[in-house]
Chains A and B, each alone.
Chain A
Amino acid sequence: MKTEASHTILAAKQLSIGYKTKKAEMVIASNINFELQKGQLIGLVGANGIGKSTLLRTLIQVQPELSGSISLNGKDLKTTSTLELAKQLSIVLTEPLISKNLSVFELVALGRHPYTNWIGNLTEVDIAIINKSLDLIKIVDLKDKKCYELSDGQLQKVMIARALAQDTDVIILDEPTSHLDMYHKAYILKLLQRLTKDTGKTILFSSHEIDLAIQLCDTMIVMQKEKVVCNQPCQLISEGIFETLFPKDLIVFDEKTGSFRVTK
């Protein structure tokens, strides 16, 4: 990349998200503005039901935005074709795989689909990229295993490797740490952080691990009922954003340690 200085990869302007039915619009969140820079790890946090998944689903164009715009590499998503988008944005979702009978290599190889020919033949370049992705995630030894033989943590890594093999500027992950134990939660998020440093990709993930996200993310998007804020974690702490995230009757945010504590 020529421009060493930070440049915006993914941006939302006056974005309003929700569901549209024939009769009415159900707005879940509105007035969302953020600019995500190249090579950053961004955590998206907020209480259950606040619209994190809806925001991610809108960003990956599974559902349309109600108003406002999303731009990827300076181009409005509305004018980006599915195939163009596939070369710029890859995803890791919470939904279970339809078929777990694929081998790890085959699954990661599916990430090359936007680049392969009509029948999906892998070139040497494709195979090199697949192997590099497996190597980056350190799962080369799983290569020939079937997906049904893997643990949740391993499967999550494989899905991340698949997204890497898609060779996109942005990777979006929906709750990559759910179903994982504490160690693997930290492992996956740490892995994402390393990937942003090693590959210069922009990685956006939603999570309930606010403590971990505060420690690892370059930027955080905090969704609240009234507003959606996007800033560096330390800024967000000093602005007192996290205190207002949840009702105060059970847990309180400790500014000094940057974590939540159960009230005695």
Chain B
Amino acid sequence: MSAQKTYRFQFIGLTIGLLVCFMVNISLGSIHIPLKNIIASLLGTNEVTSNWNVIIMDYRLPKAITAIMVGSGLGISGLLMQTLFRNPLAGPFVLGISSGASLGVALVILGSGLFGSLFATALMTKWSIVIAASLGSFLVLLAVLAVSNKVRDTMAILIIGLMFGSITAAVVSVLSYFSSAEQLQQYIFWGFGSVSNLSWYELLIFFGIYAVGLALSITSIKGLNSLLLGDNYAKSLGLNLKQSRLIIILATSLIAGTVTAFAGPIAFIGLAIPHVTRQIFKTTNHKILLPAVFLCGAIVMLICDTVAQVPNSDYTLPINAITALVGAPVVIWLLVRQRKMMF
């Protein structure tokens, strides 16, 4: 079966890369901890009460796991969107999914001023932010899908996604006019993006929803491959178009929605990672691409987070800025080298 490549070499390389990045990410931080003690903590052979152990187990490990889920999740939802909308520019950010999440969060954080203080206390929990972000991204995706059924032109769909972004921005500015400085600050900090400060319990919920989205994406692999030929061919291959579309959209909004909810609107990962992966693997077969995008996304996000926390200092840069600083040049470099997006 010479024609069915296994890509074993690339997968082994990326897995090793992921492990290395994971270890580096955990080893670096504002406090220096020797590698020996880090491994001991991870293996559970360290004293449970030691400070180092607490830092590793309750702070750095959850953060690294969050980074892995955020990176892989955004990469996968970008991949799904690019295939579904047959557009190399598609991604959770461009299609307005992140805008939807932002709108939801803005309504909860900033809108509480409008809805009155009675609501405010009930609405201000972290969970309400998570739910609002998920709902917002799901609704925007549904709207984009409804429009895409009417408008066959995929360029139009992208522009509509951008318009949703503008509407969000407008609503947010109206809301911020009526909000207190404290609320504004909370919203802006959410907008910076962050993979830290998630408790194990929150991580569990995050993982639960993420896993459902991931499972849905895996069941969509066959459909995604036939969609590479176009809608009519896919249908002629026995694909239930409406159902597959809905599942893909659902998977994307679950993943991108929760990621945005827990980590804020993180730019460029969703757009850039699928392209980087296609460059490495030279294929569009989703059976290969999906796990590959998972690995690449996780690695890039771990690196971005490592950079953002500025090792051996007390500063933490907004991760959203780092992903854009890393992501945008990568996309430009790919375009210049390839002269066209491989898709």
Contact = CB atoms under 8 A, between A and B. Distances in A.
Contacts of A107: 229
Contact of A120 (B222, B342, B343): B222
Contacts of B49: none
A103 B229 contact: no
Secondary structure of the B side of the interface?
loop
A186 interface: no
A82 B239 contact: yes
Interface stretch (B127-135, B192-200, B283-291): B283-291
Contact of B236 (A90, A102, A118, A143): A90
Given A93-B233, A127-B1, A101 B278 contact: yes
Contacts of A119: 218-219, 221-222, 287
A220 interface: no
Contacts of A103: 3, 283
A73 interface: no
Given A60-B236, A110-B237, A119-B287, A97 B3 contact: no
A95 B230 contact: yes
Interface residues of B, number: 31
A181 to B, nearest CB: 25
A85 interface: yes
Interface string B307-319: 0000000000000
Interface size class of A (residues with CB under 8 A): 35 or more
B2 A98 contact: no
B90 interface: no
B29 to A, nearest CB: 40
Nearest to A122: B4
Interface in A105-148: 105-107, 110-111, 113-114, 116, 118-120, 122, 127, 143-144
Shortest 10 CB-CB contacts between residues of A and residues of B: A86-B238, A105-B3, A83-B238, A120-B222, A99-B228, A113-B237, A114-B238, A101-B284, A99-B284, A91-B236
Interface of B: 1-4, 86, 218-219, 221-222, 225-230, 232-233, 235-240, 278, 282-285, 287, 342-343
7 contacts: A82-B239, A95-B230, A95-B232, A110-B226, A111-B237, A119-B287, A120-B221
